[in-house]
Chain A
Amino acid sequence: MSSFFDLYNYWIFIFLMMTGFYIVIAQGNLVKKIIGLNIFQTSVFLLYISMGKVSGGTAPILIEADVSYSNPLPHVLILTAIVVGVATTAVAMALIVRIQKAYGTIEEQEIHEQDASL
């Protein structure tokens, strides 16, 4: 089992993930929830990339010198994930604009009250 000094990076990233998760489930405003979701996503990317780092290595671009390279596979997967994240945010924002036009508000509590009173 590794010690604290080997793993504290992962624990800080988990704390950031939980902060984003808390914003998603605790705050009522829909735009704030999407910001929290984006913070969650970015922290997950940080966790993933930190698993691919090799100490003493360099960026995975081949150069003439004899060095070790960091693992390129997490970089590729996270590149895809970042762009998919922004696509999801764009669709979520469009939905929020339509909700505002239909209900007149984007607070979760007021939307539930309007739905319950129908």
Chain B
Amino acid sequence: MWELFILYSSYTLLLLGSFLSLTFGLGLLRFPDFYSRTHAAGVADTLCAALIIFGLSLQSGFNLVTIKLFLILIFLWFTSPTSSFTLASTAYRSGYGIKNNSSKRAE
């Protein structure tokens, strides 16, 4: 009974993470300018990775693999938002997409 509950909650978490990843892909293609695309990437980096890794760690139980998965998650949480921030900050400082102030695809 308990194992079934763990299994189904892990499936739910994995499905939610995949749905977030799908919306990230959709946003990458359809958002009009650079900064909204960077926002979509930020969502995928943080919540989608966390949901998928939580789902995987529920399936693997209490052993070394779970600890390694959580270490990977912490490392991802450090590096991915930093890189999206650096991209957006550098683009802002060089005036990318701000000067023309339009909502068309900033080239």
- Does a CB–CB distance below 8 Å link A and B in the complex? no
* B residues adjacent to A (C-beta < 8 A): none
* A residues adjacent to B (C-beta < 8 A): none
